[in-house]
């Protein structure tokens, strides 16, 4: 198995701020991601012909249909990230089911939706079964492995593509306010380690964060490095999940 590099972008847009009834300035902070940050990311991905996965809060797809079409049109995967960026650990099973169904229906307009990532990476274990029941093939919210793996949930299977805070731009840039060169150095070190150990490198980035100002150079720098390195396959969550579920593999 080679090391896999997955570029995942959570397009939250204004959804979390609307749900939490934050002021309009916070709403514009989210809007920056859709209007500006997203296009910087798409440009970098286009330049290097690299496919990515976009986890999208379905409200954003309703409000910014043209921008989400642009993601799909350029060949990237569209996956589910709630409707209004809900904290699923606070929802009842019936509320969660309603949100999953509604958001999947909205996003299906842009292609088949087989993946889910819990907003804030918060969920309870029962949600995994519900995801499998609702036809999701994979989840990308848990933190218990360096590798993607398959969960056996009764008669159903769900691939898990684990994430981590140290590869999350929100933590490093928004919370810690690290300068771009430090973040690039840290992610470079991590990518090299993943390649040496044939593990999984799942970058979680947000258009409103990595797409702001000079930070986009970190993404470009990381992809430039990945192109040069052998033994790393850059792919989408969809392709990796399908590979894991392929009989005989
Ligand atoms: Zn999110």
CA of 198 to the centre of ligand 1 (A): 27
CA of 208 to the centre of ligand 1 (A): 11
Euclidean distance between CA atoms 28 and 44, whole angstroms: 23
In this prediction, residue 57 carries a pLDDT of 98
Residue 1 has pLDDT above 80, yes or no: no
Asked if residues 209 and 37 have their Cβ atoms less than 8 Å apart, the reply is yes
Q: 171 burial class (0-12, 13-18, 19+ CB within 10 angstroms)?
A: middle
The neighbour count for residue 231, using CB atoms within 10 Å, is 11
Q: Residue 91 — very low, low, confident or very high, per pLDDT cuts 50/70/90?
A: very high
Q: Render pLDDT for 188-203 as a digit per residue (tens, 0 to 9).
A: 999 999 999 999 999 9
Tell me if the domain spanning 3-245 has CATH number 3.20.20.370.
yes
In this prediction, residue 69 carries a pLDDT of 98
Q: Residue 93 — very low, low, confident or very high, per pLDDT cuts 50/70/90?
A: very high
Helix axes 65-73, 38-48, angle to 10 degrees: 10
Residue 132 has pLDDT above 90, yes or no: yes
154/122: higher pLDDT:
122
Q: Please, which residues have CB less than 5 A from ligand 1, an ion? A: 10, 12, 119
Say which range, 80-89, 129-138, 228-237, has the weakest mean pLDDT. Answer: 228-237
Q: Render pLDDT for 14-56 as a digit per residue (tens, 0 to 9).
A: 999 999 999 999 999 999 999 999 999 999 999 999 999 999 9
In this prediction, residue 182 carries a pLDDT of 97
Q: Mean pLDDT over all residues of the chain?
A: 96
Find the mean pLDDT for residues 112-132. Answer: 98
CA of 230 to the centre of ligand 1 (A): 31
Find the mean pLDDT for residues 70-88. Answer: 98
pTM of the model: 0.97
CA of 30 to the centre of ligand 1 (A): 11
In this prediction, residue 248 carries a pLDDT of 67
| E strand spans, 29-108 | 53-56, 77-80
Euclidean distance between CA atoms 18 and 13, whole angstroms: 10
Token pair of 130, please? 């519900």
CA of 81 to the centre of ligand 1 (A): 7
**Where are the domains positioned within the chain?**
3-245
In this prediction, residue 230 carries a pLDDT of 83
């Amino acid at each position: 198995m080679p090391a896999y590099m997955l570029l995942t972008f959570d397009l939250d847009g204004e959804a979390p701020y609307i749900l939490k009834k934050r002021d309009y300035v916070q709403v514009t902070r989210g809007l920056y991601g859709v209007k500006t940050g997203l296009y910087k990311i798409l440009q970098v991905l286009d330049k290097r012909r690299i496919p990515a996965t976009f986890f999208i809060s379905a409200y954003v797809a309703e409000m910014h249909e043209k921008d989400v079409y642009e993601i799909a049109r350029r060949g990237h995967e569209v996956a589910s990230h709630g409707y209004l960026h809900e904290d699923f650990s606070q929802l009842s099973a019936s509320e969660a089911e309603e949100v999953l169904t509604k958001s999947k229906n909205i996003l299906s307009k842009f292609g088949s939706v087989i993946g889910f990532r819990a907003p804030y990476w918060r969920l309870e274990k029962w949600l995994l079964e519900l995801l499998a029941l609702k036809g999701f093939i994979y989840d990308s919210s848990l933190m218990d492995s360096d590798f993607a793996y398959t969960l056996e949930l009764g008669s159903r299977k769900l691939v898990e593509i684990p994430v981590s805070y140290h590869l999350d731009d929100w933590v490093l840039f928004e919370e810690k306010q690290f300068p771009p060169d430090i973040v690039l150095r840290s992610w470079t070190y991590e990518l090299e380690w993943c390649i040496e150990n044939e593990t999984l490198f799942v970058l979680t980035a947000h258009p409103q964060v990595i797409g702001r100002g000079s930070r986009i150079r970190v993404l470009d720098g990381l992809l430039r490095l990945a192109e040069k390195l052998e033994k790393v396959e850059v792919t989408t969550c969809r392709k990796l999940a399908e590979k894991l579920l392929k009989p005989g593999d």
